[in-house]
Amino acid sequence: MHTTLRVNLGERSYDLFFGSGLHAAVRARIEEARAAGRKVAVVTDANLAAAQGAALDAMTGDAPRLVLPAGESTKCLGELGRVWDFLAVNRLDRSSLLVAAGGGVIGDLAGFAAASYLRGIPFIQVPTTLLAMVDSSVGGKTGINLSSGKNLVGAFHQPHAVYIDIALLGTLPPREFAAGMAEVIKYGLLGDAELFARLEREPLTPASGDLAEVVRRCCATKARIVEADERETAAEGGRALLNLGHTFGHAIEQVTGYGAYLHGEAVAAGLCAAARLSQKLGYIGAAEVARVEAVVAAHALPTRLRSPLALPALVAAMGRDKKVRAGGLRFVVLRALGDSATQGGVDPALAEAAFREVGAE
């Protein structure tokens, strides 16, 4: 049994399928494509292939499969070229179907390959990490990193479906589950005070009875935001709100070479920096900052940098952020816990002070 949630984007609309044990549903989608004469190929990573090999086989059968190294460093131009070559060797055409099975790295990379190969082919997402389930698999943002910055090259390319199988989290390492919780906390902070209060009462764990409900809740929030501002063009608010904590977090990832921190770990420290910036702007008080940090820490995430990073390098990385407009940074700030807004014209000294308070020097 599974439930669905529709992302309404006109001709680009698609369904999110939620359940436990969706192998047959994914396999049926693949066999339906093949029965129509369409080629199918799969991109995944080594960790998933090792931990969930049987599930992958059940879902994708004998479809050609490219297994890439795990980790953020895979989201690069070189590995993108490998995916393009894989698609070409297997003679995929514009009617073919690419299956992205993995975490956010695989979804972003394979999604961008689908967006750009033959100027665009269909793909579906099978997210296998908490972070990918609640965030990156939904909304059609695809791309890769450059040494100069995070996600600087990419395309909007909506999937044709997303299969969110909670059972796949059973082999997810604790550190990866915690990293996904950074995005769940983000959703609570940016616009769902009830969710944030639930996380305050008790940490969410793989054993929590409401895990599936929380995943769906986050997806529903993102779906509604994406529907209103698919390509992040709103002058204020809109899809940019989903970047709460990410301007700081992406800078941490870039400066540390996309390896020392998982994406969610960097975002967690970024959420704490964003809370401190919001305090400096007069929106929230010290008590609210402490509440943010307490929830982050309760979910085994860093509230500050593990070791000091050079502030000038972090500031330079922020200056290459995608949210820069007319040469100025826009930050997502908290007007209250559960209420966020975008804000330009922030005094750089305040952002730098917030970064110092989480460990920059």
Residue of 29, 150, 157, 250 with catalytic role: 250
Catalytic: 32? no
Residue 172 to residue 55: CA distance in whole angstroms: 14
Catalytic: 141? yes
Catalytic: 232? yes
Residue of 29, 65, 217, 246 with catalytic role: 246
Catalytic: 306? no
Residue of 183, 253, 265, 293 with catalytic role: 183
Residue of 72, 79, 243, 280 with catalytic role: 243
Residue 261 to residue 248: CA distance in whole angstroms: 13
Return the axis-axis angle of helices 211-228 and 193-201, rounded to nearest 10°. 160
Catalytic: 27? no
Residue of 263, 291, 299, 323 with catalytic role: 263
* 3-state SS string for the chain: CEEEEEECCHHHCEEEEEECCCHHHHHHHHHHHHHCCCCEEEEEEHHHHHHCHHHHHHHHCCCCEEEECCCHHHCCHHHHHHHHHHHHHCCCCCCCEEEEEECHHHHHHHHHHHHHHHHCCCEEEEECCHHHHHHHCCCCEEEEEECCEEEEEEEECCCCEEEEEHHHHHHCCHHHHHHHHHHHHHHHHHHCHHHHHHHHHCCCCCCCCCHHHHHHHHHHHHHHHHHHCCCCCCCCCHHHHHHCCHHHHHHHHHHCCCCCCCHHHHHHHHHHHHHHHHHHCCCCCHHHHHHHHHHHHHCCCCCCCCCCECHHHHHHHHCCCCCCECCECEEEEEEECCEEEEEECCCHHHHHHHHHHCCEC
Instruction: Report the candidate in 217, 174, 200 with the shortest Cα–Cα distance to residue 293.
Output: 200
Catalytic: 2? no
Residue of 75, 150, 217, 239 with catalytic role: 239
Residue of 29, 75, 141, 330 with catalytic role: 141
Catalytic: 246? yes
Instruction: Report the candidate in 26, 44, 43, 48 with the shortest Cα–Cα distance to residue 168.
Output: 48
Residue of 176, 232, 265, 293 with catalytic role: 232
Residue of 222, 291, 323, 330 with catalytic role: 222
Residue 6 to residue 36: CA distance in whole angstroms: 24
Catalytic: 183? yes
Which residues are part of the catalytic machinery?
A: 119, 141, 183, 222, 232, 239, 243, 246, 250, 263
